[in-house]
Chains A and B, each alone.
Chain A
Amino acid sequence: MQTNPPYKTSRGMSDYQIKMAFIMPTMILLILMNIFPLLWSLYLSFHRYKASMPTPAKFIGVRNYARLLQDPEIWGYFQTTAYFVVLAVAAQFLIGFGLALLLNREFRYKGFITTLFLLPMMLSPVVVGLFWRFILFSDNSGLLNFFLSPVLKSPIGWTTNPKVAMLAVVIVDTWMWSPFMMLIALAGLSAVPKYLYEAADVDRASAWFKFRWITLPLVSPLLLIALLFRTMDAFKMFDIVYVLTREGGPGTATETVSMNLYKLAFRNYNTGKACAMAYVLLIIIVALSNIYVKYLNRVKGEA
C-alpha cells in the first residue's frame, strides 16, 4: 500500500513538527505546574524539611507517614471530615434533588425562581462564611437565635458549642451547594423523554412506579457525577471552616483535614510532614472517586 509522504510547508515544517509546536507549550506548562510539583512534594514527604528554614531537606524515610498515621489527633481530623462529608453531601443531595423535582415542570417565573435558587452557589465561600457568622449564627445578635428565642431558654451557641458547631458548618455548606445538586439533577430530569411517562400513563402506572422505574434510572448517572464532585469538594472543606468557626473551633470540633493541612504547611511550615499528609488525603480521595466511578459505570450499564 502506498502512503502519501508527510506534507511539508514551504519553510520545511512537517505535520508532526507543527503538531508538536502546538502541543509542547501545554505539555511544558503541565509538567512545570502539575507533574513537577506532584513529584517534588512526593520527594519532600520522605524528608524533614521546613520551607521557612535555610537548612536542606534531610531524608527520614517513611517517618513523616508513620508519625501521621500513629497520631490520634490526625485520625480525629479525618473522622471530623468524614462526618462532615456524609452529613453535608447527603443533605445537599436530598434538598437539591427535591428542588429539581419541584422545578421540573412549567410554571410562571420558572426561570427567575431557578436563578434565585442558584445565587448562593455563585457567592464566594469566604463571604458566605462571614455572612452566616455575623448575621445569622452570632450567639448574641444573630437572626437565627432571635427567631428561635421564644422557644429557647438560652441562645444556641452555633459556633461556640462543640456539639452544634458541625451542624452550623453543614447548614452553611448545604445552603451554598444544594443549588449545584439541583442544577445537575434538573439537567438530568429535563433529558428524560416525555414519551416514557406517556407510555406509563397509558399503562396506568402509579407516580411512585414512574419515579422508581423511569426517572431515577435515567437521572442517576448524572446524580452520581454530581455526588462525586460534591464528595471530592466536601473532602477538601477549608474556607467556610476557616471563616465561620475560626479555624475549626470550638476546640477541634470542626477542624477538617484540609484545615489542619493548611496549618501544618503554611503556619508551622512543617513542609515535609504537610506533603505526606497531602498524599494521604490524595490517596483517600482517589480511592473514593474510583468507587464512585465503578458504581457509576455499573449504573450506566443498567440504564
Chain B
Amino acid sequence: MKSVRISLVLALILAFAFISATKADNHQSQSLTIVWAEWAPADYLQELSKDFTAETGIAVDVIQIPWPSFQDKVFTAFVGKSDLYDIVIGDSQWLGRNSQGKNYINLTDWINENIDVDAIYGPAMTAFAEYPKGSGTYWALPAEVDAAGYVYRKDLFEDPKEMAAFEKKYGYALAPPKTYDQLRDIAEFFTRPDDDLYGIATWYSKEYDGITMGFQQVMWSFGGTYGDADTYKVAGHLNSEDAAKALEFYTNLLEFAPPDAPNYYWSETLNAYNSGKVAMAMNYFAFFPGVLNPEVNKISHDKSGFFIAPAGPKGHYISIGGQGMSISSYSKNKDLAKQYMKWFMQKPVQEKWAALGGFTPHKEVLQSDTFKMATPFNEAFAASFPYLRDFWAVPEYAELLEACQTNWNEAISKIKSPKEALDAIARKHEEIFEDAGYYD
C-alpha cells in the first residue's frame, strides 16, 4: 500500500514538472496566430510573415478557414471568448458587430500614434477600419483591399469571326462590356449549349454572402439602394422599381449561364471559367491568380483578359471586397499583434505584399506602375476603386445579409417574383432595425 502511495506522489510530481516545463517553453517561443479565409492571399501572408519571423523571432501561423464557414467559426470562437486567434482578418461588414460586441480591441489611439494613416488609401481605411463611419474610431487596419471584377476569354473576344458575327447581330464592336446591357448582349452571343459554352458565370449562391455580393452592384448601378443610411428606413429604397428591374435583369442573366449556375459562388465560378465553359466570369480580383495558373486553367491561362464591373443605367457601383486586420479582445498576445501590424504597414513590406499578389492598401504602392504591371488584372483592379460600395456594416449585418441571401436566391429560382422578394427583404430589414432600436 505504501509503495502505491509513493508511486502516486511521484507521478503527480512528474506531471506537475511536465506541465511547468511546457508552460515555460510556451513563454520562451513567442508566436502569433492569424485567422483568415482559405484563399491565395492567406498563402501570400504566410509567406510574407517569414520576414517578420526572421526579424523578430516571433513565429506566425496563418490559419485558413473555408469561406462558407469562415464567419461561423470565427464568431463562435468570439462567443466562447477563445484566445485561439490573436489577429482576425475579417470582412468589412464584421466591423459593427465585433466592435460593438467588444470582440475587437479599439485601436484608435494606437493607430494615431504608430501608423501613418495618410499613407493608407482613404476609402479602404473607412471601409475596413472605421466604425461608426466618419467617427475616426478605428478597430482595424486594412489588410487586403479587393473589388469585384470580370475575367474574359480573349481568344473568343478577339476572334475575327466572332467579332464580325457579333457586330452584325448587335450593331457594335465586340469588346469588354462597359454597360450591363452590353454584358447581357455578349453573354447571350456566347451562349451555345450544344458546344457546352455559356456566356457568363456570376454569383447566385445562397452560401454566406454569394448572391448578395454578386447582385448588389447591379442593384446600385440600376438605381436601387439598401436604404437611407441616416434614418435606416428601407421601404421605398430597397424595394424600388429600379431595384426590381435590376433583380429581373440579374435573374434573366441565368439564361446565359451554365445549368448549375444557381449554386455558383467563387469556386464554382472559377471552375466554370477554367474548364472553358463560359466566356466571362465575375469574381473578386483576389481570386484571379488561379485563372492565370496553367496547372489550374489549362484552356485559357494565357488568353485571359480582365475588366471592371460595368455601369448601369443609373450609376456605376462595384461591390467592395477585402478585409481588415483586427486584434481579438481575447488574445493573450495583443502587444505582439500590434508589433506585427505596425511591421505589416511599412512601405517596403507593403511593396513585397503587393509583389507576392496581395492587394495593398498603401496609397503610394497601390498607385505605382510597378503594382499596376505586377499582374494582368491589377490595372482593372485599380480602376475599380472609385466605384466601390459596401453592404451595411452595422452589428445586425448578419441578419440583414441572411434576408437578402434567402430572398434573392428565391427570386432567381423563380419561387418569388423580383418585387415579392424585394418587398420581403425590405419588411425583414425594417423589422431587424426596429428590434435593434434604430427607430427609437
Contacts and interface: CB of A to CB of B under 8 A. Distances in A.
Interface of A: 48, 51-54, 73, 138-140, 154-155, 157, 159-162, 246-253, 255, 263, 266-270
B414 A140 contact: no
B97 A52 contact: yes
A50 B137 CA distance: 24
29 contacts: A52-B78, A52-B103, A140-B258, A157-B259, A157-B260, A160-B259, A160-B262, A162-B415, A246-B68, A247-B206, A249-B206, A249-B263, A249-B409, A249-B413, A250-B206, A250-B412, A250-B413, A251-B206, A251-B409, A251-B411, A252-B406, A252-B415, A253-B413, A253-B415, A263-B402, A266-B72, A266-B75, A268-B399, A269-B398
B78 A267 contact: no
A180 B261 CA distance: 35
Contacts of B103: 52
B262 A250 contact: yes
Contacts of B205: 246, 249
Interface in B68-108: 68, 71-72, 75-76, 78-79, 97, 100-103
A267 B101 CA distance: 14
Contacts of B415: 162, 250-253
Counting contact residues on chain B (CB < 8 A from A), the size range is 35 or more
Contacts of A270: 399
Interface residues of A: mostly helix, strand, loop or mixed?
loop
B435 interface: yes
B102 A138 contact: no
A140 B260 contact: yes
B410 interface: yes
A139 B412 CA distance: 17
Interface string B190-218: 00000000000000011100000000000
A159 B264 CA distance: 12
A51 B78 CA distance: 10
Contacts of B72: 266-267
B334 interface: no
Contacts of B101: 52-54
A139 B259 contact: yes
Contacts of A52: 75, 78-79, 97, 101, 103
B395 interface: yes
Q: Which 9 A-B pairs have the closest CB atoms?
A: A251-B410, A139-B260, A250-B413, A249-B206, A251-B415, A160-B262, A251-B413, A268-B399, A139-B259
Contacts of B71: 267
A286 B406 CA distance: 30
B259 A155 contact: yes
Nearest to B399: A268
B398 A268 contact: yes
B206 A246 contact: yes
B389 interface: no
Given A247-B206, A248-B206, A250-B410, 15 more contacts: A51-B79, A52-B78, A138-B260, A139-B259, A140-B260, A159-B260, A160-B413, A161-B413, A162-B415, A249-B409, A251-B416, A252-B415, A267-B71, A267-B72, A267-B402
Nearest to A270: B399
A248 to B, nearest CB: 7
Nearest to B254: A160
